[in-house]
Structure formats: C-alpha cells, structure tokens
Structure 1
Amino acid sequence: MNVDQLTKLLEDVKNDQCDIPAALEQLKNLPYEDLTYAKVDHHRELRNGYPEVIYSPGKSLDQIKGIVQNMMERSTGNILASRAERDVFEAIKSVSPDAIYYEEARSVVVKRVEYKTTEDYILVVTAGTADIPVAEEAAITAEVMGNQVKRLYDVGVAGIHRLLGNVPIINHAKVIIVVAGMEGALASVVGGLSDKPIVAVPTSIGYGASFGGISALLGMLTSCASGIGVVNIDNGFGAACLASKINKL
C-alpha cells in the first residue's frame, strides 16, 4: 500500500464507503506481511520511495512466485528481482506476464509505474567488457528507480586514451558509477578527472592475485583521488541505490 492508496482508504472510511473492520483488515498488513518463509516489507515504498527488491539466490521458485504475487496485490511500485537466472524469470512471468528479463544484468523487472525520469544522469563506466554484467545490474536498477542512465564501457587504464576521449560525458554526469576488476585503478583515474561523486564497484574479474575482487576493493578503498565511495564486490545493485539517492538530491 502506497501513500495514494492509504489516503484513499482513509477517505473511504470518512465517507462511509468502507467500514472500519474492512479498513483495519487492509491496514494490519501495512508494515509487512508474514508468508512464513518471508516477511514482505510493504512499508518500504513509503519509507524509501521504492518497494522491496527480491534477492533471488537461496530462494525456491515457489517462494519467489509467492513474494511477487503478494507484492502485486499489496503494492503498486515496480518489482525487481536481482541475481535472477532464466528459471526465476519464467517463474515470475507465470505470475506476471509483463515481466521483462535483462539477461546480462540477471535482473527481472515487473514495471508497473513510470517514474519521472531525472534530467540529470548517472554515468556507468566499466574498465573492461568482462565487467559489463555488474555494470548492467547497476544501470537497470537505476533506470527502474527513475533515473536517466548513460553507459561508457571498456575504457580501462590499459588503454587510457579510450577514457580521455570521453571526458565530456564524464564531466556532465551528476554521479558516476565506476565498475572495475583487476587492480581497480579506473576509479582513481576517473576521480582525478571529475568533480562529481563517484561510486566505485570492485568486481571479481581478474587473475589469481586479484583474490576474487579483494585486490580491486582494497585499491579503491586506498585511492588517492578524493570523492570516491566504495560498495561491496560485484554489488551493482547497491551502487545504483546510492547513486540514485545522490542523483535525486
């Protein structure tokens, strides 16, 4: 239940179009609804502006379907399932035929609301092509949340001229998400070129000494460039959430 639905319910009670017991029945599940295997947070859209996001790994297909069905009945915002394989998409599509699967991002979206797209844009930058799946998770999440998103892929420090040839698009962004594996140096370089806030995402891409992204994580955390915040390894979703809040300030 969002703000508009709650307002309408209260008006219906006031105008005797809905009796108090019926209204209480609708309100009792406002904060969350207990499905035994999940407590679906219907209040999150009121608190944070966006409904709860479904993290797919570790959940059965029936559990995911149950959560989506409950969200469709109790909320009006867009539904996003992250880290979703194709079988998760097929399960959600059986509940909501309008579901869209973004395979590279491993994200399923049930788009029910067209949020007003921001005039300012989030720029998503990757060091290499192998980083694109994490970058697409960030880009799709940010778009679902109503942001204008631009992409600049495969501009890592091994060919720095590729990045320098795109300085204008970097400078005009309001916030930049930098996605990089290996040693994670791209975040420092972009931070040295731009006065915009940067959300750095270390990825698990790299050879043995990259330690599954730990080298990139430590490199980004110890960057000498200022104005860089770092999220967890491969966490494109978390980067998008932070970038969206900055972009809408």
Structure 2
Amino acid sequence: MTINVDIERFKRQGFPEAVYCPGKTIQQILKITEKLYKTDAPVILTRADKNIYKNIKKKFKKAKYYPQARLIVIKEKKPASGKNYVAVVTAGTSDVPVAEECAITCETLGTKVVRIYDVGVAGVHRLFRYQKELTGADCVVVVAGMEGALPSIVGGLVSCPVIGVPTSIGYGSNFNGISALLTMLNSCSANVCCVNIDDGFGAGVIAHLIANR
C-alpha cells in the first residue's frame, strides 16, 4: 500500500500534516510518523491511545503522550517570545479533553496558550473574572457542549476572532454535539465561527495561524 505523506505542508502552510490514528494499523502509523519525523516540522498524532504510544515510544524516544488530549507529540516548537497568545476557554470540565487537544496543538506549533476552564453559562459570572485575559488574546477558542451558548457570549466581550468548538458532551437532545454546533453556526456575535464537533486539533491549527499572522 502506497502512503503519500504531505511532507511540504509545514513549509507551505505553517502547520504539519497530522497523523489521525483511528482506522490505521500500527505499521501504517509508524511508517507515516517516520516520514514526518525527517522534516523540520513538529510531529502530531491525534486520537492516539496508550498502545499506539507504546509502539511510537520504542522508535522515537522523545515522543510525549498527553492522554487527556489523546495526542502524541514529537519535536514541538519552542514558545514564541512575543506577546501573542491564544485563550482556550471551556464551558465545563467535561469539555477539557477537546480543549487540551486544541491547547497542546497550539503549544506544539509554538503559540502561547492561556487556559480558562469551567466558566459556562450556568455560572457566567465566572467568565467575567478573566476579562483581561480574554481581551488581550489574539484569538479565543471556546469549547462547549450542551446547548453551546458560550462562544456567543465571549464573542460579545472581545474584538478578536472567536472559534467555537462544539463537543459531544450533553444529554439526549444534545444529539452528540449537533445542538451545540447549530447554536454556534447561528451565533449573533459576528466574530464567531466554528469547527466540527470535537475538533480540538482543527481549532488549534486555525488559532495558531491567526495568532501568528
């Protein structure tokens, strides 16, 4: 089986091709990782479990595993020395795994991150304690399940782009994140956009690009 890895993506776009682990064999994951490791770019494996990490670690001794985010990282970039940063916000603690996928992606690519977790609309007063951190950010990523209302509120507080990340967290009529997705798509805050359900990696890449334009 031929595997065509986009080894020029980092030079072309400013972020590397990630290895999405589900659906791939260990041998395929190792082969792709070996090709990416030969480039100057960080290597990021998403949705990785402990067994995949065990096999990666045998070959790449400096590999790091972040179990909550389900990320494996090799050769991360050093954080930039400037003032630019991304704020990553969650509605609840159940949204943190997706938020960490986003935050660690940003940090791996060299972008500073400020984490603001568990400030959802049921206790929205908690959010206002972080007004300074929010308004100083170059981009804010808001991760929320349930009804997904938090990005609209954050959007009304800041002048930068806000990326909503709907999560599959919630009870029955959440429909595995569809209700949160539709809320974010219908946001009345014009600076709010959104990515796919549970797509912390995609949000992290976009936020990194915005913060470093």
Q: Same fold (TM over 0.5)?
A: yes
Tell me what 1:143 maps to.
107
Q: Which has the larger radius of gyration?
A: 1
Could you list the per-position Cα deviations for residues 150-185 of structure 1 after superposition, in whole angstroms to 9, with x for gaps in the alignment? 100000000011111211111111110000000001
Matched, 1:77 2:47: no
Tell me what 1:67 maps to.
32
Change in 2 beyond 3 A, CA 1:125/1:42: same
Change in 2 beyond 3 A, CA 1:198/1:113: closer
Tell me what 1:244 maps to.
208
Matched, 1:190 2:177: no
Quick check: 1:204–1:233 contact (8 Å CA) kept in 2? Answer: yes
What is the rounded CA distance, in whole Å, between the counterparts of 2:132 and 2:147 in structure 1? 25
Change in 2 beyond 3 A, CA 1:239/1:113: closer
Quick check: 1:196–1:227 contact (8 Å CA) kept in 2? Answer: yes
What is the rounded CA distance, in whole Å, between the counterparts of 1:94 and 1:157 in structure 2? 44
- Larger RCO (CA under 8 A, 6+ residues apart): 2
Quick check: 2:7–2:16 contact (8 Å CA) kept in 1? Answer: yes
Give the unaligned 5+ runs of structure 2.
Answer: none
What is the rounded CA distance, in whole Å, between the counterparts of 2:92 and 2:75 in structure 1? 30
TM-score scaled by length of structure 2: 0.96
Change in 2 beyond 3 A, CA 1:208/1:65: same
Tell me what 1:205 maps to.
169
Q: 1:121 aligns with which of 58, 62, 85?
A: 85
**Identical pairs, percent:** 47
Give the unaligned 5+ runs of structure 1.
Answer: 1-35
Aligned structure 1 segments of 4 or more residues deviating by more than 3 angstroms: 112-118
TM-score scaled by length of structure 1: 0.82
Residue 118 of structure 1: CA displacement?
A: 4.5
How many matched pairs?
213
Tell me what 2:18 maps to.
53
Tell me what 2:98 maps to.
134
CA RMSD of aligned residues (A): 1.3
Residue 117 of structure 1: CA displacement?
A: 4.8
